[in-house]
Amino acid sequence: MRKPELAAAIAENADLSKDKASQVLNVILDEITGSVAQGQDVSLIGFGTFTVRERAARTGKNPQTGQPLTIPASKTVAFKPGKGLKDAVAK
């Protein structure tokens, strides 16, 4: 499912126009993005939790030359599914 399809499903289930549902979806995604970008966890009970994780600097290899190189420390987003999502997928 892509974003337009999700907006259409929201419109149908929430009795909204497709434009309004698309606006709602964009606001939700913007708020999640903004909160995670500030380092805050976003927990949606039953669905899951978005968190920021730190990746330590490490040594890797250039795949073309085999030369060792240093991969700098970075941040990434992690998602941990909630019980409701896990149960829905397991069925």
Whole-structure pTM value: 0.79
User: Residues 10-41: pLDDT tens digits?
Assistant: 999 999 999 999 999 999 999 999 999 999 99
Distance CA 44, CA 37 (A): 17
pLDDT exceeds 90 at position 59: yes
Is there a contact between 10 and 25 (Cβ–Cβ < 8 Å)?
A: yes
CATH class belonging to 41-85: few secondary structures
The residue ranges of every structural domain in the chain are: 1-40, 41-85
